Amino acid sequence: MTDTCPNCLTRGIKPRAERRDPHQTRSAYRCPHCGHAWITSRIPDAYRPTA
């Protein structure tokens, strides 16, 4: 999954590292444009299609 830099709004940034468990995926990012670093935590169920 990619993300958008919250500092300069550069889109499509790929995570530098990810850690997954059954309840969440944590991703670490660093923007190649401005150097800003951030971490996201996503709940996998929120990204599954519904019937």
pLDDT in tens, 4-32: 999 999 999 999 999 999 899 999 999 99
Residue 37 Ramachandran class (φ > 0 left, ψ -120 to 50 alpha, else beta): beta
Among 5-9, 28-32, 38-42, 46-50, where is mean pLDDT lowest?
A: 46-50
Flag whether pLDDT at 49 surpasses 70: yes
Residue pair 13/31 in contact (Cβ under 8 Å)? The answer is yes
Flag whether pLDDT at 51 surpasses 70: no
The count of residues in the chain is: 51
